[in-house]
């Protein structure tokens, strides 16, 4: 019996050592979670958006490995797969059909934004034309309306774009001049979603070439891994925003640009949504590599169930 016990002890220790060193591939999945990730770097007819594809691919990786979204519940729309029709189907039909009152929803966009002559903001799809943006673009008002029709109010939106036409991740119709956007962001006028915006209304959303990402997206992703300010093992909306807000502003100044992220509802009005968790049980969540080029290879995805 003693001999058996002696041999058993090293075996138990080896098992514990192996278990503690085992690589965690994904966080615990939350099955009722759905996301639409849009990244448009190369456009059909207008200049490209540096690093927007990489932004979307790493955001997809974070959702499916760190944030608990099942791969089959995440639509990844990139470049030519992100036409206006594709975006409309994903947001207005697919999300509405898949979700219920208990669902988590995450929407991410990296690409150009554009204003119409009245200063209304539009996402520019792969086939969008700033000269005919009201016909070829997807308005933030339409996005707001679609969010209001979902049964759930657990919705996160992250937008790495800008809409003034002054440069960066925004475009204008040929011959037009940058606009002073006087209309409040339409996504701020709804009660269901928490919206992370890369900029204030009249600023540029810029890139961070040294890390191969948009400046906002890079620090959003870093915030998910490093933003647990109260050390409770979870990362919530407030913690991620406070992390990226200071980091984005500091790095933007180094690049001689003013970029101040925004959060809607504002910190005064957000209430309990400030504590919506983006990452749970951080010690059991794998780290992912955020920095670096060349662009990551696009994952093979199941056919979307439009």
3-class DSSP assignment, residue 212: coil
- The C-alpha atoms of residue 127 and residue 98 are separated, in whole angstroms, by 26
- The C-alpha atoms of residue 270 and residue 288 are separated, in whole angstroms, by 29
Exposed e or buried b per residue across 122-134, where buried means at least 16 C-beta atoms within 10 angstroms of its C-beta:
bbbbbbbbbbebe
What is the residue-level pLDDT of the chain in tens, covering all 306 positions?
444 444 444 554 444 444 444 556 788 999 999 999 999 999 999 989 999 999 999 999 999 999 999 999 999 999 999 999 999 999 999 999 999 999 999 999 999 988 888 888 899 999 999 999 999 999 999 999 999 999 999 999 999 987 765 555 556 455 433 333 444 566 666 668 999 999 887 777 889 999 999 999 999 999 999 999 999 999 999 999 999 999 999 999 999 989 999 999 877 778 899 999 999 999 999 999 998 654 455 666 555 555
Shortest CA distance to 66 belongs to which of 33, 19, 100, 18? 33
DSSP string, 110-172: ES-EEE-TT--EEE--TT--GGGHHHHSEEHHHHHHHHHTSS---EEEEEE---SSSSSSB--
What is the predicted pLDDT for the residue at 25? 78
CA 68 to each of CA 32, 132, 185, 286, 289: distance values in angstroms, whole numbers, following the listed order = 10, 39, 29, 11, 17
- The C-alpha atoms of residue 106 and residue 196 are separated, in whole angstroms, by 11
What is the predicted pLDDT for the residue at 62? 97
Q: Which residues contact 143 (CB under 8 A, 6 or more apart)?
A: 91, 107, 123, 157, 186, 187
Shortest CA distance to 103 belongs to which of 77, 70, 76? 70
Domain boundaries of the chain, sorted by first residue: 31-284
Tell me which DSSP letter residue 18 carries.
Answer: H
3-class DSSP assignment, residue 237: helix
Tell me which DSSP letter residue 22 carries.
Answer: P
Encoded tokens for 61: 């990786």
The DSSP bridge partners found for residue 194 are 156
What is the predicted pLDDT for the residue at 120? 87
The answer to whether residues 237 and 254 touch, using CB atoms and an 8 Å cutoff, is no
What is the predicted pLDDT for the residue at 166? 52
The fold adopted by the segment(s) 31-284 is Rossmann fold (3.40.50)
CA 221 to each of CA 59, 108, 169, 246, 297: distance values in angstroms, whole numbers, following the listed order = 7, 12, 19, 14, 18
CA 180 to each of CA 1, 120, 166, 177: distance values in angstroms, whole numbers, following the listed order = 83, 11, 9, 10
What is the predicted pLDDT for the residue at 199? 87
């Amino acid at each position: 019996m003693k001999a058996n016990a002696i041999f058993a002890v090293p075996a138990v220790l080896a098992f514990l050592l192996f278990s503690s060193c085992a690589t965690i591939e994904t966080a615990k999945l939350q099955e009722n979670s759905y996301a639409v990730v849009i990244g448009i770097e190369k456009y059909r007819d207008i200049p490209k958006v540096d690093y927007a594809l990489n932004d979307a691919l790493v955001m997809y990786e974070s959702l499916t490995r760190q944030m608990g979204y099942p791969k089959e519940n995440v639509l990844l729309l990139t470049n030519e797969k992100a036409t206006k029709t594709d975006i409309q189907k994903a947001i207005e039909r697919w999300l509405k059909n898949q979700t219920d009152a208990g669902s988590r929803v995450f929407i991410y966009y990296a690409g150009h934004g554009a204003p119409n002559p009245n200063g209304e903001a539009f996402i520019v799809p792969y086939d969008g034309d700033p000269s005919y943006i009201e016909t070829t673009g997807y308005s933030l008002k339409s996005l707001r309306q679609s969010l209001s029709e979902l049964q759930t109010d657990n919705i996160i939106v992250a937008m790495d774009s800008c809409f003034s036409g002054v440069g960066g991740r925004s475009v204008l119709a040929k011959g037009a001049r940058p606009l002073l956007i006087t209309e409040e962001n339409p996504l701020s006028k709804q009660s269901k979603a928490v919206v992370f915006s890369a900029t204030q209304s009249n600023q540029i959303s810029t890139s961070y070439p040294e890390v191969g990402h948009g400046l906002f997206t890079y620090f959003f992703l870093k915030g998910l891994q490093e933003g647990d300010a109260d050390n409770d093992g979870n990362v919530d909306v407030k913690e991620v925003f406070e992390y990226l807000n200071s980091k984005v502003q500091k790095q933007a100044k180094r690049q001689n640009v003013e970029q101040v992220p925004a959060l809607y509802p504002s910190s005064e009005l957000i209430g309990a949504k400030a504590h919506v968790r983006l990452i749970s049980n951080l010690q059991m969540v794998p780290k992912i590599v955020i920095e670096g080029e060349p662009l990551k290879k696009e994952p093979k995805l199941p056919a979307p169930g439009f």
